[in-house]
Amino acid sequence: MNHRITVCTSCRRKGTETRPGFELIERLRNALSAAKETIPETFDVSGVACMAGCDQPCTVAYHSTSKASYLFGDIDPKTDVDDLIAFAKQYAYLGDGWCSSVDRPGKLRKSTLARIPAADSALEEQKARAS
């Protein structure tokens, strides 16, 4: 199964011109490469111009086919990479991607902006209600 981590590249901390997304992408790719023996699935890391988390930069999304997606905010490339890698390991094992906030590592317990159900599970629930 293919997993993706998407990082906002336009996020800026208020009062600065620094865009931490580019640094975060590089750090995540390096950390995932170093941890590849302990993560059972592959994760592609890419950037996107905006994920509408401007008030809580830098934003990071985890998504995969048939799994819930997550959007995290207020991520710092210097201090939060370990938590992001720990979540990648956890997310890889979650069949539907669903987990409680208390189960998420470190800062990610409090920095979740959204958890979005997988599209196919939402369709299944809609079909079940219709029958």
Q: Using one digit for the tens of pLDDT, what is the confidence trace for 93-122? A: 999 999 999 999 999 999 999 999 998 765
Alpha-carbon torsion 20, 23, 29, 34, what sign? negative
Mean pLDDT of 11-22: 85
2-130 homologous superfamily: Glutaredoxin (3.40.30.10)
Domain ranges of the chain: 2-130
* Model confidence at 7: pLDDT above 70: yes
Nearest one of 92, 80, 107 to 36, comparing CA atoms: 92
Q: So what's the pLDDT on residue 21?
A: 94
pLDDT band at 89 (very low <50, low <70, confident <90, very high): very high
Q: What is the DSSP string of 25-73?
A: HHHHHHHHHHTTTT-SSEEEEEEES--S-TTSPSPEEEEETTS-EEEE-
* Model confidence at 126: pLDDT above 80: no
pLDDT band at 47 (very low <50, low <70, confident <90, very high): very high
Alpha-carbon torsion 97, 98, 99, 105, what sign? positive
* Model confidence at 39: pLDDT above 80: yes
Give the C-alpha separation, 78 to 119, whole Å.
33
Cβ neighbour number for residue 128 with a 10 Å cutoff:
8
Q: So what's the pLDDT on residue 127?
A: 54
